[in-house]
A = this chain, B = another copy of it.
Amino acid sequence: MDSGSKQVDPTEVVKALRRILPRHCILSDAEDTRPYECDSLTTYRQLPMIVTLPENEEQIIGILQVCRQFQLPIVPRGAGTGLSGGAMPIANGLVLSTAKLNRLIRLDPSARVAVVQPGVRNLAISDAAAHAGLYYAPDPSSQLACTIGGNVAENAGGVHCLKYGLTVHNVLRVRVITIDGDILELGGESLDAPGLDLLSLFIGSEGMLGIVTEITVKLIPKAPTAQVILASFDDIQKAGNAVAAVIAQGIIPAALEMMDQTSVRMVEPFVKAGYDLNAKAILLCEADGTIEEVGEEIARMSQVLNDAGASALRVSFSEQERLKFWSGRKNAFPAAGRISPDYYSVDGTIPRQHLAQVLLAIGQMEKKYGLVCANVFHAGDGNLHPLILFDANQEGSFEKAEAFGADILELCVELGGSITGEHGVGVEKLNSMCVQFNAAELNTFFALKAAFDPKSLLNPGKGIPSLQRCAEYGRMRVSQGQLKFPHLERF
């Protein structure tokens, strides 16, 4: 996959780019390109050769033409809030930032859609639609900063995706420029689109298939009201079973989050959300809708949580209290940064019924690696975000955290889950992809990638591990006596 090794003269590339782009849209000095050396997975850094900031489709087509001419790999980039290194630059490559493509093209409240450029911020769409009582549902915690283009690349989720879906469920159409400069329109405003479903294929493809230049998103009506239950449990097993019980009842909460005692104790002194410091785990269960709907759902959920053995339940009685209950969950990441020099955020999924089992196993891993892990889960959809605390200044500490994270992801696969819930694969999870998929499956990914981008110029080295890498990873795991996935031996 890697085509970034060829040596190219940067001044020649800049010269070619200047024929297409105004000067202020090309950055090539290290001091200018430094801000682009990583995304929010800051442990992986690399200065790119050149950063471009195109202002329109014509300029993008021109940039791609220059990249084809010089065989230069291209790394597309939104706001750089990604957590798996999907936007990490390549040394002899070009970064294509969508920062200047930030126009809201059309807002149609009656059809409940918005058409935007990729550089528009996630929250800016909801702000623009607020006057019509509408909003864009997926809400990654970076939603103030992250762009819709990056959301498309990573199939971003958020706290409310249990009820309202991921990016793939909320995008109706994208306009794409292929590596050859062709324009494709994928999807449409109707429910189904003819032909192969290229829209879903693009969403979550981490910039490996093309450059998205327009996105049509679904807008949905803002629920008139919402309430949240804050439930305490004196036992992890009971909390895990309570989550499964809520869903099994046929309730689809607007959000269903879980925090373990470590996270509660990490966050409570910091934000004073009113969490129970003695609880082994807490749940936040939100209902939204009309007053009647919310009242009924809160009553049903309270019943299920009580039956599941909750030690205490509190229901938010005002919007202010609802936001207070949420403030702890929303500040979990900053709180980790407050008590620990560094933290490593893991992202995997499991079938809901195994929540308690995973928490117990993570407890064992904490002992194995001598590191503390704070567990914050989108429990309703089985999406785990363990935060492994470490100190990068201690030699070998990051490597330990990374191995700890890989262990958690392999446990996810073993339990029938997956190695990413909403952060993507990027560079971070290439090894874990070898655990998740067999050689035939990876070969299918390669073949698809090659169908769009035969010379692998678009974000090479991300998303899909080479079979060679998987073979090496398998050998390493065997030598450590850890091989749980026999197919790794066959790579």
Q: Is the CB of B349 within 8 A of A195?
A: no
Interface size classification for chain A: 35 or more
Q: Which of B155, B190, B200, B464 is within 8 Å of A168, CB to CB?
A: B200
- The yes or no answer to A448 lying at the interface (CB within 8 A) is yes
Q: Which of A191-232 contact B (CB under 8 A)?
A: 191-201, 203-205, 208-209, 220-221
Q: Give the complex CA separation of A303 and B112 in angstroms.
A: 20
Q: Which residue of B lies closest to A187 (CB)?
A: B418
- The yes or no answer to A49 lying at the interface (CB within 8 A) is no
- The yes or no answer to A316 lying at the interface (CB within 8 A) is no
Q: Give the complex CA separation of A178 and B433 in angstroms.
A: 20
Q: Is the CB of B441 within 8 A of A451?
A: no
Q: Which of A415-434 contact B (CB under 8 A)?
A: 416-422, 424-425, 429, 432-433
- The yes or no answer to A353 lying at the interface (CB within 8 A) is yes
Number of copies: 2
- The yes or no answer to A350 lying at the interface (CB within 8 A) is yes
Q: Which of B157, B199, B244, B433 is within 8 Å of A191, CB to CB?
A: B157
A191-B161 contact given A201-B201, A244-B110, A441-B184, CB 8 Å threshold: yes
Q: Which residue of B lies closest to A432 (CB)?
A: B194
Q: Which residue of B lies closest to A424 (CB)?
A: B194
A440-B168 contact given A110-B244, A292-B292, CB 8 Å threshold: no
Quote the shortest CB–CB distance from A147 to chain B (angstroms): 19
Q: Is the CB of A448 within 8 A of B196?
A: yes
Q: Which of B133, B166, B178 is within 8 Å of A250, CB to CB?
A: B133
Cβ-closest 5 pairs across A and B = A221-B250, A200-B200, A182-B440, A447-B451, A190-B349
Q: Can you sample 9 A-B contacts with CB below 8 Å?
A: A109-B248, A168-B197, A182-B443, A185-B441, A191-B381, A191-B383, A195-B437, A196-B208, A444-B452
